[in-house]
Amino acid sequence: MADPAVQLTLLDACCLLNLFATGRIDEFLAAVQGRFAAAERVGAEALYVRRGGDGEDADERDAVDIGPLVARGLLEVLAVETADEAASYVSFAAELDDGEAMTCALALHRGAIVATDDRKALRLLAARAPQIRVRSTAQLLKGWADSANLAPTELRAVLTSVRQRARFAPGRHDPLHSWWEAALRAP
Amino acid sequence: MEPDILQSIDPRELGRRLQEARKARGHTQQDAAERLGVARTTITAIEKGERRIQPTELMQLAAFYGRTVGELLRRGEPTEAFAVQLRATLPSGLPVDTEIAPFTWEFQRLCEDYLELERLCGAPLPRRYPPQYQIEGVAPEAAAEDVASAERNRLGLGDGPILNLRELLENDVGLRVFYLDLPSNVAAMFAYTEQLGGCIAVNRKHPEDRRRMSLGHDYAHFLTKRYLPEVAYLGRYHRQPEQERFADAFARVFLMPAAGLSRRFHELRRSRDGRVTPADLCTLAHFYFVSVEALTLRLEELRLLPLGTWDRLKQADFRVREAQAILKLPERQVADYMLPMRYLYLAAEAFQRGDLSEGQFARFLRVDRLEARRLADELASRKELSDEGTVQTLLLDLGGTLPERS
């Protein structure tokens, strides 16, 4: 049974995809303090990453399968449980995709952190629920790299994998854009 | 504090969307009632807007109808449900209804999504629609010549080939054209509403020369019978009604106008000392970007070739693809995107501006997030030649405002 006192982070689909693309999401979830979860609608979304690498199959797609992570207790899947959560979910769903909306609604009522890079979701949260803390993919990975003392070569490999397999890099206006780019150039 | 959307939304609008979503899935009101554990009259009241739906009920119905909650909450008067009218045109007594039904609903949803993107970007689709042409009392083939000629004049097309028919109809006329993977015996679908304008869905599984004929056929419907939706089946009629003969003839004439085709054919024959070979037909068909069969039948129609020429070629086992390969005719560039390019760019613009979330962007494009990211990059990138002669990738701000002339 999850300890409600432990900080809960809800991974939006965009972050989940990016973390999966590291190839080391299980290590990340095991190493970083706190509970991690995905909203039920996020868990149900069909997500894929590129196989990546230098082989001819680099462009092949691999499905994101959270089943093993859930089975190992590293990731929870959470559903709307109360009338208030349902009302919030519907309210957010008028502006966001259902998975994003459910993530925000659950975070609002459970005091959770939202992990997302989505500009519209971030703007909506800032306007409607500024008390909700948010984390970006870059913040999550930097936190992990710092606490796990990842070697520069390891970190470079992780970020390269995210870029190649998930087609993601933080935008120019992201506060950690410079950190990300510098880490990619590290020898 | 988040707004109570279900209190502020027009319950009749929401009710209509729920009703359409239910029907699109083939469910009855009783099915929906059982799903929610309420009386059927409750569903009736919700769909009429007389009873406000509760959040948990909306969640359950969205899942039951295979829709997102967000889609059902879309603002604005729902468009006229042409999917139902399309299905009403289907031949009775044949088991086609269930096969085509999902595609009529998806066609409607794509058109509505297109309209929603235009609303988000403040970019309504410009229309250059002529008044409907009146062709009653005129022989179909003669009417086709008249209307096709008038349209070519109106659009400034001259008498040459139209290589980019889809783009012409989308950009110069203002039609919404989708390429969908329809059942193989369906050529195209056409519908029109005042809100959406003319909408055409062509079968992406057909070869491009067939798709162009289908586009021409449905364009003919738009020009003359705009308010009658249609599902065009291949080989549907043993004896074609006049309207169908007109539409087929229009497609041939619009793509292969008599004056230009005759002139080129005569030039070809003069250059060959009066002989025209099957290879010449292949070359001419390639020039007009039509099938060899369509080209040959058109030449027969214009009495430039003897009637029955195509039948004789078929009996002699003339292999078109082999001939084309031998002639090394270059493949025509075909962009068979499901969605119009303008639709893609509007979605990319809205996403780049942050007016669409990534999940919404992916849903509008009918792809998963990884593919949505790839498309977002592709649509916003341009290859440019620098002053040093190197190819660079330029990233565009798709939603940026261009400076006006002072």
ipTM rounded to 2 decimals: 0.96
Q: Pick B359's closest partner by Cβ from A13, A80, A86.
A: A13
Predicted pLDDT at B273 = 85
Predicted pLDDT at B394 = 65
CATH number of the domain at B205, please: 1.10.10.2910
Block residue for tokens 């039609």:
B175
Using alpha carbons, select from A97, B239, B367, B234 the residue that is nearest to residue A89.
A97
Average pLDDT over residues B45-58: 95
For residues B284 and B249, state if they share a domain.
no
Q: Is residue B335 part of a domain?
A: no
State which residues form the domain around B201.
79-255
Predicted pLDDT at A3 = 64
Residue to mutate among A82, A97, A108, with most B CBs inside 10 A, is A97
**Position B127 pLDDT exceeds 80:** yes
Say how many residues make up chain A. 187
Predicted pLDDT at B237 = 67
Grouping H, G, I as helix, E, B as strand and the rest as coil, residue A23 is coil
A168 touches chain B (CB under 8 A): yes
Which letter, b or e, does each residue of B102-132 get, where b requires 16 or more Cβ atoms within 10 Å of its Cβ? ebbbbbbbbbbbbbbbbebbeeebeeeeeee
For residues B182 and B313, state if they share a domain.
no
For residues B233 and B250, state if they share a domain.
yes
Cβ of A93 within 8 Å of Cβ of B73? The answer is: yes
Q: Is residue A182 part of a domain?
A: no
CATH number of the domain at A29, please: 3.40.50.1010
Q: Which B-chain residues 345-404 have CB contacts (< 8 A) with chain A?
A: 354-360, 362-363, 368-371, 373-374, 377
Q: What is the pTM of this model?
A: 0.91
The residue among B330 and B293 whose pLDDT is bigger is: B293
- Identify whether the C-beta of residue A104 lies closer than 8 Å to the C-beta of residue A121: yes
- Identify whether the C-beta of residue A50 lies closer than 8 Å to the C-beta of residue A165: yes
Q: What is the pLDDT of residues B3-14, one digit of tens each?
A: 688 888 899 999
For residues B227 and B293, state if they share a domain.
no
For residues B296 and B353, state if they share a domain.
no
| CB < 8 Å to A90, chain B | 5-6, 55, 58-59, 69, 73
For residues B384 and B240, state if they share a domain.
no
Question: CA-CA distance, B296 to B305, in Å (whole number)?
Answer: 8
Predicted confidence band of residue A20 (pLDDT cuts 50, 70, 90): very high
Q: Is residue A78 part of a domain?
A: yes
Cβ of A97 within 8 Å of Cβ of B2? The answer is: no
B58 touches chain A (CB under 8 A): yes
Minimal Cα distance from B2: which residue of A? A128
Average pLDDT over residues B390-396: 65
Minimal Cα distance from B3: which residue of A? A91
Predicted pLDDT at B91 = 66
**Position B109 pLDDT exceeds 70:** yes
User: What's the domain count of chain A?
Assistant: 1
Mean pLDDT over each residue of chain B, to the nearest integer = 89
Average pLDDT over residues B266-275: 88
Our CA angle for A101, A99, B80, nearest 5°, is: 80
Q: Is residue A153 part of a domain?
A: no
For residues B89 and B231, state if they share a domain.
yes
Could you tell me the two tokens for A58?
């680099």
Using alpha carbons, select from B67, B73, B60 the residue that is nearest to residue B16.
B73
Predicted pLDDT at B306 = 92
Q: Is residue B406 part of a domain?
A: no
Residue at which a domain ends, from B17, B48, B77: B77
**Position B102 pLDDT exceeds 80:** yes
Residue at which a domain ends, from B327, B351, B369: B327
Q: What is the pLDDT of residues A64-92, one digit of tens each?
A: 999 999 999 999 999 999 999 999 999 99
Q: Is residue B313 part of a domain?
A: yes
List, in sequence order, every residue forming a beta bridge with B197; answer none if it has no partner. B193
For residues B146 and B198, state if they share a domain.
yes
Predicted pLDDT at B322 = 76
Predicted pLDDT at B378 = 92
Cβ of B55 within 8 Å of Cβ of A83? The answer is: yes
User: What's the domain count of chain B?
Assistant: 4
CATH number of the domain at B69, please: 1.10.260.40
For residues B323 and B354, state if they share a domain.
no
For residues B70 and B86, state if they share a domain.
no
Q: What is the pLDDT of residues B320-345, one digit of tens each?
A: 777 777 777 777 777 789 999 999 99
Predicted pLDDT at B235 = 74
State which residues form the domain around A21.
8-135
For residues B247 and B312, state if they share a domain.
no
Q: What is the pLDDT of residues B152-199, one digit of tens each?
A: 999 999 999 999 999 999 999 999 999 999 999 999 999 999 999 999
Q: Is residue A146 part of a domain?
A: no
Using alpha carbons, select from B116, B123, B222 the residue that is nearest to residue B173.
B222
